[in-house]
Amino acid sequence: MRTKAAVATAPETDLEIQNLEVDDPRSNEIQVKMVASGICHTDAIIRDQWYPVPQPVVLGHEGAGIVEKVGEAVTEFNVGDKVVLGPTFCGECEQCLSGHPMYCINFFDRNFGVRRADGSTAFSDADGTTVGSHFFGQSSFAQYTNVVAHGAVKVEEDAPLELLGPLGCGLMTGAGAVLNVLRPKPGSSIAIFGTGAVGMAGMLAAKAAGASTIIMVDIVAPRLEFAEELGATHTVESSTVDPVDAIREITGTGADYALDTTGVPAVFSQMTKSLAIRGHGALVGAAKLGTEAAFDIGTLLTSGINISMVIEGDAVPREFIPRLIALHQAGDFPFDKLTRTYAFNDINQAFTDSAEGGTLKPIIVF
Ligand SMILES: NC(=O)c1ccc[n+]([C@@H]2O[C@H](COP(=O)([O-])OP(=O)(O)OC[C@H]3O[C@@H](n4cnc5c(N)ncnc54)[C@H](O)[C@@H]3O)[C@@H](O)[C@H]2O)c1
Ligand SMILES: [Zn+2]
Ligand SMILES: [Zn+2]
């Protein structure tokens, strides 16, 4: 079957819209007719080869669509079901079996290997050249794509699929880091570094959890103004003031919780220094392999702080995505305010707007 898809062919180069052949779903897969897909910063860094992911490849990992075909061994989906797509995992390792599939020991291979476990890909181009598929088990920048079924989450028949794709990665990451890992107590303080889609999702989640001091830190002033509109109690423009001093002044003691969504080494160090005694900080921002950040072990030993490295909000997507949808329906997680839709043909513009800071969470609509 033919499908239109956006193909990454080289670093720092626009995705190419091509007509590809997509094969039939394997027994553990569903074929999904994509309705929409969010674009995550991770799509951009993989296009640019921060991690060694083979190209050409169809990226995209915040898909939402309708089940078109069902593999023989799949029992939980029917043709016509609406699904939001999350990452894939092996389901057999200790982490998967203990309720932490986002730390699956096979996570990198399964999500970044862009091949099935048997080495095949779902896509090939007009010359018969194979094109990588199954990025995060889904490769959602394609109108039709084969998806590992256990990564898909069934949603209600009237669910707004044009909106929900980003719950599968960026928003699950920010909200999950806060709700599943940091778990701020009502009345506590939290500092969030980076006011992109991930940081803003963290902010909305912190507000929903009852944190009463929510400090957003960024170097882009308009993003900070928007954060204030959506619930930040304080903002810090860290290009003009020292964020550690500012956070200590606002809180008196340092922040009870902190989240670094930038992956910038200096920001990670700032986060560790801005925490209160026995505070808890988390890193979700991605950096190139081998990136190191300074950590003052001399001073911080006595602080009793905790630092967590968090993948995909340590979520179980089939539990957490419906929870986020319910929070959204109740008006407590208004993530629709972060999104902007683009036609599929404008996908490269969407990447540019996201990189330049004008769009927080682009969603391409097929
Ligand atoms: N851990 C995971 O599982 C996971 C999942 C999804 C995304 N990510 C990563 O999370 C990060 C955030 O994603 P996003 O979509 O929000 O990206 P984004 O680019 O929209 O947001 C990053 C924000 O950080 C700000 N920033 C950059 N340098 C800064 C500095 N020195 N000080 C303060 N702020 C600074 C930027 O201005 C921007 O607002 C990315 O690195 C992405 O790859 C990780
Ligand atoms: Zn596993
Ligand atoms: Zn992502």
- Encode pLDDT of 15-59 as tens digits: 999 999 999 999 999 999 999 999 999 999 999 999 989 999 999
State mean pLDDT over 330-344. 97
State mean pLDDT over 208-231. 96
With a pLDDT cut of 90, the percent of the chain lying above it is 98
State mean pLDDT over 260-270. 98
Q: Answer yes or no: is 350 within a domain.
A: yes
Q: Answer yes or no: is 317 within a domain.
A: no
- Report pLDDT digits (tens) over 236-253: 999 999 999 999 999 999
Q: Taking 90 as the threshold, does the pLDDT of residue 105 lie above it?
A: yes
Ligand 1 atom closest to the Cα of residue 173 is: 5
Q: Answer yes or no: is 23 within a domain.
A: yes
Predicted local distance difference test score (pLDDT) of residue 160: 97
* Same structural domain, 154 and 7: yes
Predicted local distance difference test score (pLDDT) of residue 186: 98
- Report pLDDT digits (tens) over 283-327: 999 999 999 999 999 999 999 999 999 999 999 999 999 999 999
Predicted local distance difference test score (pLDDT) of residue 171: 98
Residues 6+ apart with CB under 8 A from 58: 5, 6, 7, 8, 20, 123, 131, 132, 133, 135, 139, 141, 142, 145
CATH number, domain containing residue 116: 3.90.180.10
Which residue, judged by its Cα, is nearest atom 9 of ligand 1? 285
C-beta 220 within 6 A of ligand 1: yes
C-beta 284 within 6 A of ligand 1: yes
Q: Answer yes or no: is 315 within a domain.
A: no
* Same structural domain, 184 and 217: yes
* Same structural domain, 87 and 136: yes
Q: According to the 3-state scheme, what is the secondary structure of 261-288?
A: CCCCHHHHHHHHHHEEEEEEEEECCCCC
Range of the domain at 43: 2-168+334-365
Query: Phi and psi (nearest 5°) for 54?
Result: -60, 140
C-beta 42 within 6 A of ligand 1: yes
Contact status, residue 263 vs residue 283, Cβ threshold 8 Å = yes
Closest to 166 measured CA to CA, from 77, 81, 68, 86: 86
The model carries a pTM of 0.96
* Same structural domain, 126 and 212: no
Report how far ligand 1's centroid is from the alpha carbon of 285 (Å): 5
**Mean of per-residue pLDDT scores for the chain:** 97
* Same structural domain, 225 and 254: yes
- For the chain, the domain total comes to 2
Ligand positioned closest to the Cα atom of 312: 1
In which element (H, E) is residue 209 found?
none
* Same structural domain, 124 and 194: no
* Same structural domain, 162 and 283: no
Contact status, residue 101 vs residue 316, Cβ threshold 8 Å = yes
Q: Answer yes or no: is 47 within a domain.
A: yes
Predicted local distance difference test score (pLDDT) of residue 41: 94
* Same structural domain, 241 and 138: no
Q: Taking 90 as the threshold, does the pLDDT of residue 199 lie above it?
A: yes
Closest to 44 measured CA to CA, from 59, 34, 54, 57: 59
Predicted local distance difference test score (pLDDT) of residue 360: 95
* Same structural domain, 244 and 306: yes
Predicted local distance difference test score (pLDDT) of residue 8: 98
Contact status, residue 192 vs residue 202, Cβ threshold 8 Å = yes
Q: How confident is the model at residue 357 (pLDDT cuts 50, 70, 90)?
A: confident
Distance CA 148, CA 132 (A): 14
Q: Answer yes or no: is 163 within a domain.
A: yes
State mean pLDDT over 214-222. 95
Q: Answer yes or no: is 15 within a domain.
A: yes
* Same structural domain, 48 and 184: no
* Same structural domain, 194 and 223: yes
CATH number, domain containing residue 279: 3.40.50.720
Report how far ligand 1's centroid is from the alpha carbon of 199 (Å): 7
Q: Taking 90 as the threshold, does the pLDDT of residue 214 lie above it?
A: yes
C-beta 40 within 6 A of ligand 1: yes
Q: How confident is the model at residue 115 (pLDDT cuts 50, 70, 90)?
A: very high
Report how far ligand 1's centroid is from the alpha carbon of 158 (Å): 32
C-beta 351 within 6 A of ligand 1: no
State mean pLDDT over 119-146. 97
**Among 295, 310, 325, which residue terminates a domain?**
310
Predicted local distance difference test score (pLDDT) of residue 79: 98
Predicted local distance difference test score (pLDDT) of residue 71: 98
Residues 6+ apart with CB under 8 A from 227: 195, 200, 203, 216, 218, 235
* Same structural domain, 153 and 198: no
Q: How confident is the model at residue 60 (pLDDT cuts 50, 70, 90)?
A: very high
C-beta 85 within 6 A of ligand 1: no
Amino acid identity for residue 63 in this structure: G
Q: Answer yes or no: is 156 within a domain.
A: yes
